Structure 1
Amino acid sequence: MLFGLPLALGGARITYDSLSQLDLAQPLAAIVDDLGEDLLQICCANGDIVDVGWYPAWNEQGGLRVVTVRGQDWEAPVFSAQPALQPQALLQALHAALAQAAQP
């Protein structure tokens, strides 16, 4: 569960989470100090990593980025999305990132 909504992880596990603590109903100015590059990391059974961060960190002009990284190649993610800072949009991007991680 993330923001009270289901997030099916399958064989993956959350290894870092400062995202679920955020109240996304708050104005951006109220939570921007909590929006860093490291918000959520999910390690998949095949070694892929799904990562969520805010870029540039702690900046109201920034935005979310969800990536799936394969083989520790952070420079060339196999999936990348920039969802809105809304639970449904973020969950949709996470579902897509996890689906990409499930593919060989």
Structure 2
Amino acid sequence: MKSFNIKEIIGNKGKIVFDDLSIVDISLGIEDNINNLKEDLLQVELANGNLLDVGWNPSFDIEGYFNVCIIKDYDWMEPFYQKECNQWNDLNELIKEAINFNLGK
């Protein structure tokens, strides 16, 4: 089984609050993991108090997508950053991009 190494991606830039993303086997395709792909997969409290949120929308739907957001001031209706993808490699890059965006890089 191959999983995301969230701690390696996040480094010292935040604290993992919730992580069901690490239990997903990324060596398998999306279709083989669909029973694990849900709206709430990962939440990280970033050093500046913003939240990194990752989910699959709609939950358990093969036609869905990963939603990567930065939430500022707990304003879930208007994310500070938001992008979507439907591939493992893209998800890894979007998480890194979101963290850098949060840091103003």
Q: What TM bracket, shorter-length normalisation?
A: 0.7 to 0.9
1:23-62 → structure 2 map (5 Å cutoff): 23-62=25-64
Unaligned stretches of 5+ residues in structure 1:
none
Match of 1:78 among 65, 77, 80: 80
Higher helix residue share: 2
Which region of structure 1 is more displaced relative to structure 2, 62-71 or 26-35?
26-35
Compute the TM-score of the two structures, normalised by the length of structure 2. Answer: 0.84
User: What percentage of residue pairs aligned between the two structures are identical?
Assistant: 25
Compute the TM-score of the two structures, normalised by the length of structure 1. Answer: 0.85
Shift of 1:47: 1.1
SS of residue matched to 2:16? strand
TM-align CA RMSD: 2.1
Shift of 1:91: 1.7
Kept in 2, the 8 Å contact 1:78–1:100? The answer is no
Shift of 1:3: 4.2
Return closer, same or farther for 1:36/1:8 CA change in 2, 3 Å cut-off.
closer
Amino acid at match of 1:23: D
Amino acid at match of 2:41: L
Aligned to 1:102: 103
Q: How many residues align?
A: 102
